[in-house]
Structure 1
Amino acid sequence: MAYQQSTQSRYGHCDSYFVDSHDDGIYAIRAEARERARAIARMQQRALAEDLSRITSEEYQEDIMDHMEHMESQTMPDVNSIDIQTEIQWFMRPYLLDFLVEAHAAFQLLPETLFLAVNLLDRYCSRRVVYKRHYQLVGCAALLIAAKYGDRKDRVPTVRELKSMCCSLYDDEMFTQMEWHVLQTLNWMIGHPTVDAFLQLALSELAYDPEVEHMTLYIAEIALFHKEFVSTRPSVLARSALALARCILSRTQAKTSEWAGVYDPQTVMSLSNHLYQSSQVLSRKYSSMHLSNVSTTVDDFLQRQAQIARRAAAPPTPPATITIEEPKPTTDAYLGPQTPQKTHYGAVMQHGCLTPPITPENEQFGQGNVAKAQVLPPHMYPSTPTPDHPSNVQQPQYYHNTYLQPQHV
């Protein structure tokens, strides 16, 4: 009884253990103010970190550039070693790269991930003998390693997803074993300054122009498909592609005193010559609005250049004279010389290269496949060296049809 009186005197009389409070609005306002203050503090910290990073990068800019140029010389593939591969040939490369470009776009990976994956693929092929049935597996392992190295964790593809994209041609353990074998072959040296890394350094000196950046990346990815650019350093390729992109978009070129203005004219000419041989997969990728629709811009530029070339090559118009035309014979008209017409291959590759790029097997090139074979259009990809074959064996003109047939390992 005494305890009850003491509690009542201390806390007062209360008929219920649940007390209705009318101050909930005040607590909500205070909580919202605290959350707003925290958000402002995070923004200030982020801005401060960016300023410190910019100041530090400017201070160590020369050291960073020297290290990147040293690393690119240490991590370049050897084209001569790839030439002596027994099974894989250069004509197989566009098919595999089309597959990697589609996979890279499907997983929404960073641009530098694609360049690093191709570098890992070429470096592995420079040191190991690769069978054509494992060529696609090596490409998937290189893409997986590159995504793990520098991309976001939530976008790294899983083995199950890669297996599905390869039509279940390889088991889960094969992806893991190939990934480990690639890392061991390269001595776990994955870091490589890509074209995108040098491009960001060149664009950091000027105002941000997304169209120039997307055009440069489009030209640099076109260069991945051709053998002559495999041994080109990324720093040279980035500056040359940037100069060509500015020319196509009618932008002013960088000064020769700047790092971005020192480009290789020969590389620029080689890149411009390969604009006509762009992959259909790349054209579809860069025809989207979020990539500034640069593939359509390149097509319009090439059409304008062709019209200018035709006008320059056209003969002068002769003066108008009155002439009497003699009747032309109709029976012997076929005896005159005729200009041969080139065949069109538009119906062969309407939707780009099919994927996955399964490599052909030797037993598929028998006499029974001659009727079903199709010739690869020469304007799609440049001719590549192939090993000499006896005269009684079919040449690789039948690879296009059989190369795309799915096979099981």
Structure 2
Amino acid sequence: MAYQQLTQSRYGQCDSYFVEAHDDGIYAVRAEARERARAIARLQQRALAEELSRLTADEYQEDIMDHMEHMESQTIPDVNSIDIQSEIQWFMRPYLLDFLVEAHAAFQLLPETLFLAVNLLDRYCSRRVVYKRHYQLVGCAALLIAAKYGDKKDRVPTVRELKSMCCSLYDDEMFTQMEWHVLQTLNWIVGHPTVDAFLQVALAEGPFDLEVEHMTLYIAEIALFHREFVSTRPSVLARSALALARCILSRNQAKTSEWSGAYDPQTVMNLSNHLYQPSQVLSRKYASMHLSSVSTSVDEFLEHQAQLARRAAAPPTPPATVSLQEPKPVMAMYGPQTPQKPHYGAVVQHGCLTPPITPENDQFGHSNMIKGQAIHHAYPTTPTPDHPSNIPHQAQFYHNNPYLQAQHV
């Protein structure tokens, strides 16, 4: 009886000793507070780790830069070897790069993935004979390798997705075979300091400016489409594109004592010559708001430069009988413009722009003779499921072509 009175006084009147708790809300609040404290502690630990990493990076920054500059010299493609390819021509390059830019944007890959993919593509073409029917396949394999190497795992494209973007021109096994063959050809050396990597080093020297970063990436991606920048060092290209981007956006240039201030004026001039008539795919990509609409800013800058040129070229009192012609913009006088894609129209499938199928004839001068000399096969060709009798041509590549070294300022 005494025990029953004790339980009634403690828990109240009830028919059972198994009493449900009525203070679950208190425990939930306490659990939420503990979880919030853990989250704050994790953020503090992450901030402390980033600060320690930054201090360590500053200590080893010189060694890191030396290694990056050494690696860029070892992984630069040889444009002279690409010149003597028997089937693929330079006018085909914009088609393939338009496709890669579309695929890169569709999978939301990192900027450095695109630069690494193009580098792998050019390095492979420097060492192997590539048939035009396999050119797009090599590009897809390079994009797949680059995405696996440095991008987020959940954004790496699958073979099925790439096959769909290629309109099922290649089998699944061909993607796997080409991926392995590219890695074998490059001796499994995938790492390459891209333009984006050097750009982050240059941007770290000054205040954060997202529009300048987007403008620099836009200019650097325009350079991917042109032969003259294939063998340009990424460090030189990054600093020169950054200097041109700051000029377009009316930002202050870096000091000459800083690393980013040691740009190459000739490279800046060459880049400015190709701002006119860029790839339409690239222009649409950088017209979006999340990329600061930098392609629109470039168009406005060029229009302003053209107006200044017209004012400077117009005489004060022109004769009434003389017809004035439209003057060329200032930068158009300094060099050739962006080459057009002359031969074929674009083939759009599933929203992605793919290279057209080039004809199987002698239109592009397929021959086993170069300047009257017979070509000996120095390198094996790209893998193909076709029979050997269906492979008509191979080309000779030179082993010891010197890389085109950029001048240091």
TM-score range, shorter chain: 0.7 to 0.9
Q: Which residue of 2 aligns with 1:146?
A: 146
Q: For the pair shown, which has the larger CA radius of gyration, 1 or 2?
A: 1
Q: Which residue of 2 aligns with 1:362?
A: 360
Q: Which residue of 2 aligns with 1:51?
A: 51
Q: Distance in 2 between matches of 1:318 and 1:166?
A: 57
Q: Which residue of 1 aligns with 2:113?
A: 113
Summarize deviations over 1:348-369 as a string: whole Å, max 9, x none. Answer: 99x977421033122597xxxx
- Determine if contact 2:346/2:354 at 8 Å carries over to the other structure: no
Q: Which residue of 1 aligns with 2:400?
A: none
1:206 deviates by 1.1
Summarize deviations over 1:384-406 as a string: whole Å, max 9, x none. Answer: xx6499xxxxxxxxxxxxxxxxx
1:307/1:18 Cα in 2 relative to 1: closer, same or farther (>3 Å)? same
Q: Distance in 2 between matches of 1:306 and 1:151?
A: 41
1:252 aligned onto 2:286:
no
Summarize deviations over 1:209-246 as a string: whole Å, max 9, x none. Answer: 01100000000000000000000000000000000000
Q: Which residue of 1 aligns with 2:281?
A: 281
1:14 deviates by 7.8
Q: Which residue of 2 aligns with 1:331?
A: none
Q: Distance in 2 between matches of 1:311 and 1:339?
A: 13
What secondary structure is seen at the aligned counterpart in 1 of 2:126? Answer: helix
What secondary structure is seen at the aligned counterpart in 2 of 1:88? Answer: coil
Q: Which residue of 2 aligns with 1:265?
A: 265
- Determine if contact 1:76/1:119 at 8 Å carries over to the other structure: yes
Q: Distance in 2 between matches of 1:143 and 1:319?
A: 59
Q: Distance in 1 between matches of 2:41 and 2:153?
A: 27
Q: Which residue of 2 aligns with 1:157?
A: 157
- Determine if contact 2:86/2:366 at 8 Å carries over to the other structure: no
Q: Distance in 2 between matches of 1:110 and 1:161?
A: 18
Q: Distance in 2 between matches of 1:11 and 1:141?
A: 75
Q: Which residue of 1 aligns with 2:393?
A: none
Q: Distance in 2 between matches of 1:319 and 1:299?
A: 32
Q: Could you state the TM-score of these two structures normalised by the residue count of structure 2?
A: 0.78
1:224/1:17 Cα in 2 relative to 1: closer, same or farther (>3 Å)? farther
1:338/1:285 Cα in 2 relative to 1: closer, same or farther (>3 Å)? closer
Summarize deviations over 1:188-211 as a string: whole Å, max 9, x none. Answer: 100000000000000011111011
Tell which deviates more after alignment, 210-219 or 20-29: 20-29
Q: Distance in 2 between matches of 1:144 and 1:271?
A: 28
Summarize deviations over 1:70-101 as a string: whole Å, max 9, x none. Answer: 00000000111111111101110000000000
The residue type paired with residue 304 of structure 1 is: H
What secondary structure is seen at the aligned counterpart in 2 of 1:358? Answer: coil
Q: Which residue of 1 aligns with 2:127?
A: 127
> How large is the RMSD of aligned CA atoms in angstroms?
3.0
1:339/1:40 Cα in 2 relative to 1: closer, same or farther (>3 Å)? closer
Q: Distance in 2 between matches of 1:338 and 1:9?
A: 112
Q: Distance in 1 between matches of 2:314 and 2:127?
A: 52
- Determine if contact 2:347/2:356 at 8 Å carries over to the other structure: no
Summarize deviations over 1:369-389 as a string: whole Å, max 9, x none. Answer: xxxxxxxxxxxxxxxxx6499
The residue type paired with residue 358 of structure 2 is: P
Stretches of structure 1 lacking an aligned partner (at least 5 in a row): 326-336, 341-345, 366-385, 390-407
1:190/1:318 Cα in 2 relative to 1: closer, same or farther (>3 Å)? closer
Q: Distance in 2 between matches of 1:168 and 1:305?
A: 46
Q: How does 1:342-381 map to 2 (within 5 A)?
A: 354=348, 355-363=353-361
The residue type paired with residue 282 of structure 2 is: L
1:221/1:339 Cα in 2 relative to 1: closer, same or farther (>3 Å)? closer
The residue type paired with residue 282 of structure 1 is: L
- Give the number of equivalent residue pairs: 344
1:103 aligned onto 2:103:
yes
Q: Could you state the TM-score of these two structures normalised by the residue count of structure 1?
A: 0.78
Q: Which residue of 2 aligns with 1:373?
A: none
Q: Which residue of 2 aligns with 1:73?
A: 73
1:91 aligned onto 2:98:
no
Q: Distance in 2 between matches of 1:362 and 1:293?
A: 41
Q: Distance in 2 between matches of 1:17 and 1:164?
A: 67
Q: Distance in 2 between matches of 1:30 and 1:338?
A: 82
Q: Which residue of 2 aligns with 1:232?
A: 232
Q: Distance in 2 between matches of 1:17 and 1:87?
A: 89
- Determine if contact 1:72/1:192 at 8 Å carries over to the other structure: yes
Q: Which residue of 1 aligns with 2:202?
A: 202
The residue type paired with residue 24 of structure 2 is: D
Stretches of structure 2 lacking an aligned partner (at least 5 in a row): 327-339, 368-385, 391-409
- Determine if contact 1:95/1:353 at 8 Å carries over to the other structure: no
- Determine if contact 1:254/1:261 at 8 Å carries over to the other structure: yes
- Determine if contact 1:136/1:358 at 8 Å carries over to the other structure: no
1:253/1:362 Cα in 2 relative to 1: closer, same or farther (>3 Å)? same
Q: Distance in 2 between matches of 1:175 and 1:197?
A: 28
The residue type paired with residue 29 of structure 2 is: I
The residue type paired with residue 96 of structure 2 is: L
